Each structure stands twice: as C-alpha cells, then as structure tokens.
Amino acid sequence: MGLIMALFTVVLGLDQVISGMGIYFLGLGLSSFLYRVAFGVRTTPPTVEGLKTVAIPVLSDIPILGPILFEQDVLVYISVLLVPILGFILRRTWAGLQIRAVGENPEAADTVGVNVNLVRTICVVVGGILAALGGAHISVAHLKIFADNMTVGRGFIAVAIVYFGKWRPFMTFVGALVFGGAYALQLLIQASGAHIPHQLLLMFPYALTIVILAFVAREARGPAALTRPFRRGER
C-alpha cells in the first residue's frame, strides 16, 4: 500500500488527499474480500490466539502503573521504543537531515545531491509499514478477531494526532496517549454500568480529539513542502 501511495503521490505527483482516500477505500474493500476468500462467509468471525502479554519482571509489580505500562504485548513495546529512536534519527543523523530537508525545501536538498523522490518514497513506504502494524495490532492483539472496518476511523485520528504533535515524535506519542486514554475511559464507564448512552460514550474519544485539535491546529506548522510534489527545475 505504501508503494502504491508513493507511486501516485511521489512519482506521478497526484494529490495526496485524493490518493490517500483512494488507498483507504482500496484497503477497506480488499481486506474484506481477502478475508472472505480465506474464511468464507461466516455468522461469527474466527478468533486467533494473537499476541501474548509480556510482563517485564519487577517493573510489572509496581502498583497500578506496573500492569498498565509493563504488561503489554510486543507491538506496544516496539511502538514506545520507536519514539526515541525516530526522534534521534530525525534530529541527530544524516538520514534525518535529508528527510527534513526534502520536506522543508526539496529544491535546496536536490542541489546538494539528495535524491528527493527516493527519500520521499522510502518515507512513505516506512510510514505505510508502521500504519499497517498499528492496524494489525487491533486484530491480532487487541480484539483477536477480524471484522469489516474494524479500525473505525482510527487512521484519520492518527492524522489529527500528527497535527497535535506538530510532526514531532514525542508530542505525537503524547497525543496518541490522550486519545487512547479517552478510549479506555469510555470502555471503563460502559463497564461500570453508568446510565449513559453507549453511542455517546463511543463518540467521546473522537469528540475530544476534535476539541483538542481545534485549539492546537492553528499553531501547528507542517513541513513547508507538505503535499507539494517535487519536479526538478520547477518552483
């Protein structure tokens, strides 16, 4: 999917929003089609054993925080470790400098020998891989089943979280925690038996994201060349 997105936006220079929506609907239909090819039409979806929880010794015994932070599956640990790793790469390495350069001023990067389209293609593909891991976590670790459109718009929330984090790994991580905390809170409220319509509770994390974004987005500044295709010699 990342390669298809890179072909449309980087190589062909098509609009990123329209291409992204096309990829979204392609993935939505293709996943449902492949699921039915593999498992047929079923009244109840098959379940999988999924990823097991890995408790970190000693740390998982800390009251309250221990089970929350240190009793997770391997994908959660990987996602947390990626925050400082990606932050270091983007701010402290030559590869990170190239990535930031092709996002801010691709013409200047091109003049010093950076292959702008190659760097952008790699970034789109890696981004697609990370997004796929996030989606796969829902089916193989969180719910351990597959259902049509089971992400229920979380990919669009991820885009909003990037604006919240102002394209910085740590702040984006904080934004993800805010949304995740709101999602967990509405589940807790539902489990408590509170007399609140579940539709309203399901809406809560998304509404909270919109409210936060309304205050933050005005100050968020993305890369200067965001959504702008690069053609050598053109300005």
Would 213 be classed as within a structural domain?
Answer: yes
Would 157 be classed as within a structural domain?
Answer: yes
Helix (H, G, I), strand (E, B) or coil at 54: strand
Would 189 be classed as within a structural domain?
Answer: yes
How many separate domains does the chain show? 1
pLDDT in tens, 180-193: 888 888 888 888 88
Would 9 be classed as within a structural domain?
Answer: no
Q: How confident is the model at residue 235 (pLDDT cuts 50, 70, 90)?
A: low
Angle CA(132)–CA(76)–CA(45) in degrees, nearest 5? 60
Residues forming a β-bridge with 54: 72
Would 123 be classed as within a structural domain?
Answer: no
pLDDT at residue 46, as a whole number? 82
pTM: 0.86
Would 130 be classed as within a structural domain?
Answer: no
Would 135 be classed as within a structural domain?
Answer: no
Q: What tokens does 16 get?
A: 């990123």
Would 205 be classed as within a structural domain?
Answer: yes
**Of 122-126, 147-151, 204-208, which has the strongest mean pLDDT?**
122-126
Q: What's the domain range around 179?
A: 152-221
Decide if 179 contacts 231 (C-beta within 8 A).
no
